Amino acid sequence: MTLDRLNLVVPQTLVRLLVLSLINTKTREPFDDFKQILPQYDFIVVGSGSGGSVVASRLAEVKGWKVLVLESGGPPPPETMVPGYNLLLMQSSADWNYFTVPQKYGLGAYTDRVCPFPLGRAVGGSSTINWMMYVRGNRRDYDHWETLGNPGWSYQNVLPYFKKAEDYTGTRNTETAEYHGRGGPLSVEDKRWWSLLLPAFLNAGRELGYNVVDPNGPEQTGFSVADMTQRDGERGGVSDGYLRRAAQRPNLHVVSKAHVTKIIFDKNKRATGVRFLHRGKMRTVSARREVVLSAGAVGSPQLLMVSGVGPAEHLTQHNIPVIADVPGVGENLQDHPSIFGLTYTVKQGSSTDILQLANPVSVKDYIRNRRGPLTSPMGVEGNAWSVNESGEDDPLWPDLQYLFISGTPYSDAGLLIVDLLGFRKDFFNEYFGSLLGSQGFNIGPMLTRPKSRGTIRLQSSDPHLPPLIDPNFLSHPDDVKTFVRGIKFVLAIGNTSSLRVDHEAKFHDKHLPGCEKERYGTDDYWSCYTRQMAQTTYHPCCTLKMAPSSDPLAVVDHRLRMRAVSGLRVVDASIMPDIVSGNLNAPVIMVGEKAADIIKEDWGQKES
């Protein structure tokens, strides 16, 4: 084990012991129905993430249908339930521990020009390790999907599924109550804890002419407090909200640590089952009706390709027999790149202190009341979406989102964050080292609709090897220009009296290593800054594009059926034709809800 890896494993282990001995989270039986697995099911769902858990749970509502869920990861580790320990879930046993390939146009400040690419490998998928922000995106995102040739996916069509999923208990958004659902499986609550900087951030927005908005209401542009997918101060992912409840039905079996290695097709190119590795043995199970692929924007195209469905030339390179030549498989990879490093210092007492997470007072407050800093992912405070000033689109269809974090990159003295994000240590210490002992905040501009496109490719035919993940960040020059505009807006936020005067906010204006040739503060400097600093926001999607057959990259139709084969649907973030203007967890849950009704309808069942 390398020293860097040891630096991550030790605190993860200590936190796990703390959770088990002190936090006393509710006992949860592990998911593993392998002892009663049947040779055939009506539906086999590959993956238990935010799409798979939802669609499997809803399909199991039909009493006559038998449903199997196969999850490569294990049960969620206990620390996933405590929101404040979210950083320790990255590069843990619940993460696939993937990395990008070296980037040509970006990641200049990162080791070997690659960055970690966290994806959940546990029951619940990425909803088990994410930062728990509930954001649906912009209504124009979904209207755009429909105009691309996907009937039934407009905002008017998908809003009922957002509401169906949601059990909203928040108290802030009373004026937009009609946009929220109540009684659904997914618990959405008010953020339970915040620093003194959150009200200042909201006031900064008002100073700049923006309203404080419900980010999931009729319009998204403005400043907002993050809504959280949590229940009573604990993580509220899909594993508990959907799958654990549904698993009480005898017709739903969930098998964890079951790695699907191949989709099986018959001579008519119909998916008839899957092969999977479980407890050291290779097993096969068949599907009477359909295989539902929900392995995510990385895992789903990889599994299709190793099974013989994808770009024929690429499959042939790896000696994989071609079942169907589908050029769009693995193409169109989109992600939200963001910049973590635009940092301000503030006066003591204003911001979050990472030591609060181990403070006995905080632990006690969490145990007794489910209150305090442990109820919130580390530093997460609020979001903003600015008016779109590109001149290309509707001004209320934002191309930038801003994540407000109450903490600096050096708040842990360089122990964890540098490795979790993938920065070169020499760079990280040189640029951020002077922040040691300082409180502060970070505002991260994120491109909500980047123009750069990447790919998922195989490195071999071995289904156990990581795929080649190439986001191709910043390959489109317009993305850099948008980031420069976003950085200027960040500086405007920090210069408001609410932050600059009330909290003595001062921008960390050290000249960025690697950009010494550019004059500080110019557009060229901020362009260089972007190419050094921007990386993933953990929102991959769009690699199995939903589109009409006239689109050369079309992989699934508007009813999520795979083209060129039969008996196979895809239900996860990969089906998105274009990325949405916000975090992806809520939209993927919506996709799962809508997919379940589509499948029921196609098989003669009434919508639930």
Annotated binding site for FAD: 260
For residues 273 and 363, give the distance between their C-alpha atoms in angstroms, rounded to a whole number. 47
Q: How far apart are CA 249 and CA 63, in angstroms?
A: 9
Positions at the binding site: 260
Question: Residue 542: left if φ>0, alpha if ψ -120 to 50, beta else—which one?
Answer: left
User: Do residues 32 and 81 make contact, with C-beta atoms less than 8 angstroms apart?
Assistant: no
Helices 197-207, 477-494: axis angle to 10 degrees equals 110
Residues 532 and 512 sit within 8 Å (Cβ to Cβ): yes
The whole-angstrom separation of Cα 349 and Cα 504 is: 11
- Cβ atoms within 10 Å, residue 74: 16
Q: How far apart are CA 178 and CA 175, in angstroms?
A: 8
> Could you give the CA distance from residue 99 to residue 468 in angstroms, rounded to a whole number?
8
Contact between 46 and 294 under an 8 Å Cβ cutoff? The reply is yes
**Phi-psi domain of 541 (left: phi exceeds 0; alpha: psi -120 through 50; beta: other):** beta
Q: For residue 119, give both structure tokens.
A: 């994806």
Interhelix angle 585-602/52-59, nearest 10 degrees: 30
- Active-site entry in 144, 278, 336, 539: 539
Cα end-to-end span (Å), the chain: 50
Q: Quick check: 263 and 568 in contact, CB under 8 A?
A: yes
Tell me the Cα Rg of the chain.
Answer: 23
Those residues whose C-beta lies under 8 Å from the C-beta of residue 528, and which sit 6 or more positions away, are 512, 514, 515, 517, 518
Element (H, E) at 57: helix 52-59
Tokens for 77, please give them. 């580790």
User: Does 278 participate in catalysis according to the annotation?
Assistant: no
The dihedrals phi and psi of 597, each to the nearest 5 degrees, come to -70, -35
Which of 355, 513, 342 has the alpha carbon at shortest distance from 425?
Answer: 513
Which residue in 487, 400, 382 sits closest to 446, CA to CA?
400
Longest Cα–Cα distance in the chain: 71
Residue 305 and residue 181: Cα distance in Å, rounded? 38
Q: Which residues are catalytic?
A: 539
